[in-house]
Amino acid sequence: MATLTQTTYYTRRGLAFSSILLVGFIIAKVSLNMASEIWQKLHPPPPPPPTVAFGVLPKVKFPEDKLPIGKEKLTFRLETIEGSLPSLPNVGKVYFMPVGRPNLLALDRANEKARKMGFRGQPQTVNETLYRWTNEAVPPTTLEMNINHGNFQLRYPYETDQTILTNKNLPTNEQAAQEAKNFLRTNGLLTADLATGSAEFDYLNLTPNGLTPAPSLSEADLLRVNIFRADLDNLKIFPPNPKNSLVSFLFSGSREMGKRIIEINYIHFPLEREIVATYPLKPVNNAWQEIQAKEGYFANLGQNENGQITIRKVYLAYYDSEEPQNYLQPIYVFEGDRNFFAYVEAVDPKWKE
């Protein structure tokens, strides 16, 4: 029969052994977890294959190049921070963009939008989808709207009215951006991507040759506000000209009703963020070869009239067309010195029409 001393001894031995086992188990588990994490970092699972859920995609609708010099005069030199082309993803997202279709209520809805903007009369038919309204002011402001998708241009003939130049009370950048977004909100046009998008500003002078850049707000006759869509998937969304948004407002310094906002351009197609597919992308090196072969879309020559272009940045973005398109597709952007921009379609040609 064990004595009390023996019982105490073996109990202590058992507890010590159990503690050692527990500590060993914890160390082994932590080590195993760390090893597993390191293995997964060194051997990550392959990404899921592209869904290509929309099937073969249409080509991106780039407009015709409007370069002041011929493409044959362009030469390119790559001088990025990396010293070479960057490493970019080989799979990209494509989003569905529903396009407005003709319907019996389209004109009624367009009339309602026009009334909200102060146009009471019946419109004039420009063509089967484009209608024009005029107000009763002298000279009259006109509103032209595509009744299928609601995009429009509102314009006061400011070139013929010198009185708007006598008052230099132009809004500040912040005031103009707020007034523009207030107008969109009041008319039910301020979508989430415009509400959170960036605004850029052009200071302009009215000359016999049209609008020309002014050096500062204090020296400008007019102020243009460009409102861009917010980034998507941390990628920018570019219009045909990266310096001119598809939604813009032109302000004068007049406080007179109807002469404060003298031009609005509104081209904005809805984007279905929940309807998305993934597609393989062409290698960025292939896109660079297209640029060198002058096969990309040259969105803005910038101040590079000599045609010698130095490319500083290459990255992925999305392209927002002036024309209806069923899909928001990724593009490669080649950005260079002095405001040069060029675009190349990014989706693998095997999945393009």
Question: What are the Cα distances from residue 62, in Å, to 145, 170, 241, 270, 331?
Answer: 22, 35, 10, 19, 11
For 19-33, 62-76, 292-306, which range has the lowest pLDDT when averaged over its residues?
19-33
Domain holding 328, by residue range, is: 71-97+273-351
pLDDT surpasses 90 at 287: yes
- Quick one: which H or E segment has residue 94? strand 91-96
Average pLDDT, the chain: 90
Are 311 and 223 members of one domain?
A: no
In a domain, residue 30? The reply is yes
Determine the pLDDT at residue 250. Answer: 98
In a domain, residue 138? The reply is no
Are 301 and 204 members of one domain?
A: no
Determine the pLDDT at residue 257. Answer: 82
Closest to 61 (Cα-Cα) out of 324, 349, 339: 324
Are 213 and 307 members of one domain?
A: no
Are 159 and 235 members of one domain?
A: yes
Are 262 and 278 members of one domain?
A: no
In a domain, residue 114? The reply is no
CATH number, domain at 337? Answer: 2.40.128
For 14-23, 150-159, 208-217, 279-288, which range has the lowest pLDDT when averaged over its residues?
14-23
Question: Strands 237-238 and 308-319, how do they pair?
Answer: parallel
pLDDT surpasses 70 at 305: yes
What are the pLDDT digits (tens) for 25-50? 677 676 677 766 765 666 566 678 89
Where does a domain end: 27, 45, 63? 45
Are 216 and 178 members of one domain?
A: yes
What are the pLDDT digits (tens) for 163-205? 888 877 899 999 999 999 999 999 999 999 999 999 999 999 9
Are 261 and 280 members of one domain?
A: no
Are 181 and 257 members of one domain?
A: yes
Within 10 angstroms of residue 244's Cβ, the number of other Cβ atoms is: 15
Where does a domain end: 210, 243, 268? 268
In a domain, residue 51? The reply is no
12 against 284, higher pLDDT? 284
Confidence bin at 70 (pLDDT 50/70/90): confident
In a domain, residue 178? The reply is yes
User: How large is the average pLDDT for residues 280-299?
Assistant: 96
Domain tally, the chain: 3
Determine the pLDDT at residue 68. Answer: 83
Are 2 and 34 members of one domain?
A: yes
Token reading at 232? 């998507």
Are 233 and 308 members of one domain?
A: no
Are 251 and 307 members of one domain?
A: no
pLDDT surpasses 80 at 15: no
Predicted TM-score (pTM) of the model is 0.86
Confidence bin at 65 (pLDDT 50/70/90): confident
Burial (Cβ within 10 Å: 0-12, 13-18, ≥19) of residue 262: buried
In a domain, residue 108? The reply is no
In a domain, residue 343? The reply is yes
In a domain, residue 61? The reply is no
